[in-house]
Structure 1
Amino acid sequence: MQANSIKDISNFWIAGINYKKTDATIRGQFAVQGELCANILKHAVATGLNDLFVLSTCNRTEIYGFSDNASQLIDLLCSQTTGTKEVFEELAYVKNGHEAIQHLFYVSAGLDSQILGDYEIVGQIKSAVKFAKEHGCINVLLERLVNTVLQSSKAIKNQTELSGGTVSVSFAAVQYIREHVKGIADKKILLLGTGKIGKITCKNLVHYLKTTNITLINRTEEKAEELARELGLNHAPLSELSNYISQSDIILVATDSTEPTILSSHLKEQTSKLIVDLSIPYNVEAAAQQLPHVTLINVDELSKLKDETLAKREAEVPRAKAIIREHMADFLEWHEMRKHVPVLKAMKTKLKEIHNSPLFIPLYNNSAHTEEKIQRVINGMAFKMKGQNQRGCHYIQAINEFIATGSN
Structure 2
Amino acid sequence: MGEFPTDLQHFFVAGISYKKSDSAVRSRFAISNDQYEQILHAAKSRGITELFVLSTCNRTEIYGVARDIEQLVSLICEATGQSADEFRNFAYLLRGEDATQHLFEVAAGLDSQILGDYEIVGQIKLAVKFSKERSGIGPFIERLFNQVLQTSKLIKNNTALSSGTVSVSFAAIQYLKEQVPDVADKTVLLIGTGKIGRNTCKNLIDYLGCQNITLINRTHEKAEELARELNIEALHSSHLNQALAQADIIVVAANAPEPIVSAAHLTGSHNQWIIDLSIPNNVHTDVASLPGKQLLNVDELSRMKDENLLKRQAEVPKALQIIADQTAEFLEWCRMRRQLAVLRVVKLKLEEIHTSTLTTNPELQQWVYNTTLASSDDAASRIQKVLNTMAAKMRVKNQRGCHYLEAINDFIAFGAN
Q: Same fold (TM over 0.5)?
A: yes
Partner of 2:356: none
Q: Note closer, same or farther for the CA distance 1:138–1:58 as it changes in structure 2 (3 Å cut).
A: same
- Aligned residues: percent identity? 52
Does the aligned pair in 1 maintain the 2:245–2:268 contact within 8 Å?
no
Deviation of the 1:147 alpha carbon: 1.1
Distance in 1, Cα, partners of 2:83 & 2:238: 35
Partner of 1:341: 340
Partner of 1:132: 131
Partner of 1:216: 215
Query: Which letter maps to 1:282?
Result: N
Deviation of the 1:10 alpha carbon: 1.1
Q: Report the TM-score when normalising by structure 1.
A: 0.86
Query: Which letter maps to 2:24?
Result: T
Distance in 2, Cα, partners of 1:195 & 1:159: 30
Does the aligned pair in 1 maintain the 2:245–2:267 contact within 8 Å?
no
Partner of 1:53: 52
Does the aligned pair in 2 maintain the 1:273–1:293 contact within 8 Å?
yes
Deviation track 1:334-374 (CA, whole Å, cap 9, x = no partner) reads: 111112334666899999xxxxxx969x9x9xxxxxxxxxx
Does the aligned pair in 2 maintain the 1:257–1:283 contact within 8 Å?
yes
Deviation track 1:24-52 (CA, whole Å, cap 9, x = no partner) reads: 11111111121112111111111111111
Distance in 1, Cα, partners of 2:159 & 2:49: 35
SS in 1 for 2:16: strand
Distance in 2, Cα, partners of 1:76 & 1:346: 33
Q: Note closer, same or farther for the CA distance 1:45–1:346 as it changes in structure 2 (3 Å cut).
A: closer
SS in 1 for 2:326: helix
2:118 pairs with 1:119? yes
Distance in 1, Cα, partners of 2:408 & 2:252: 64
Deviation of the 1:211 alpha carbon: 2.1
**Any unmatched runs of 5+ in structure 1?**
352-357, 365-374, 399-408
Partner of 2:21: 22
Q: Report the TM-score when normalising by structure 2.
A: 0.84
Does the aligned pair in 1 maintain the 2:387–2:407 contact within 8 Å?
no
Query: Which letter maps to 2:96?
Result: G
Q: How many residues align?
A: 389
Distance in 1, Cα, partners of 2:108 & 2:225: 32
Deviation track 1:99-155 (CA, whole Å, cap 9, x = no partner) reads: 111111111111111111111111111111111112222111011111111111111
Deviation of the 1:186 alpha carbon: 2.1
Deviation of the 1:244 alpha carbon: 1.4
2:227 pairs with 1:231? no
Partner of 1:97: 96
Deviation of the 1:83 alpha carbon: 3.4
Partner of 1:11: 10
Instruction: Flag the structure with larger Rg.
Output: 2
Query: Which letter maps to 2:183?
Result: I
Query: Which letter maps to 2:58?
Result: N
Distance in 1, Cα, partners of 2:312 & 2:239: 43
Does the aligned pair in 2 maintain the 1:30–1:61 contact within 8 Å?
yes
Matches within 5 A, 1:143-154: 143-154=142-153
Partner of 1:62: 61
Does the aligned pair in 1 maintain the 2:220–2:236 contact within 8 Å?
yes
Matches within 5 A, 1:279-298: 279-298=278-297
SS in 1 for 2:331: helix
Deviation track 1:18-75 (CA, whole Å, cap 9, x = no partner) reads: 1111111111111112111211111111111111111111111111111222111111
Distance in 2, Cα, partners of 1:15 & 1:347: 35
CA RMSD of aligned residues (A): 3.2
Distance in 1, Cα, partners of 2:194 & 2:246: 23
Partner of 2:185: 186
Distance in 2, Cα, partners of 1:191 & 1:359: 84
Distance in 1, Cα, partners of 2:226 & 2:273: 23
Query: Which letter maps to 2:287?
Result: A
Distance in 1, Cα, partners of 2:408 & 2:157: 43
Partner of 1:307: 306
Q: Note closer, same or farther for the CA distance 1:242–1:98 as it changes in structure 2 (3 Å cut).
A: same
Partner of 1:39: 38
Does the aligned pair in 2 maintain the 1:274–1:295 contact within 8 Å?
yes
Distance in 2, Cα, partners of 1:276 & 1:109: 26
Deviation of the 1:160 alpha carbon: 0.4
2:168 pairs with 1:169? yes
Distance in 1, Cα, partners of 2:234 & 2:81: 33
Matches within 5 A, 1:266-285: 266-269=265-268, 271-285=270-284
Distance in 2, Cα, partners of 1:174 & 1:153: 26
Does the aligned pair in 2 maintain the 1:385–1:394 contact within 8 Å?
no
Partner of 1:247: 246
**Any unmatched runs of 5+ in structure 2?**
352-370, 378-383, 412-417
Query: Which letter maps to 1:208?
Result: Y
Distance in 2, Cα, partners of 1:290 & 1:343: 64
Distance in 2, Cα, partners of 1:18 & 1:385: 39
Does the aligned pair in 2 maintain the 1:12–1:64 contact within 8 Å?
yes
Query: Which letter maps to 2:189?
Result: L
Which segment is superposed worse, 93-102 or 239-248? Answer: 239-248
2:155 pairs with 1:156? yes
Distance in 1, Cα, partners of 2:325 & 2:178: 42
Does the aligned pair in 2 maintain the 1:217–1:235 contact within 8 Å?
yes
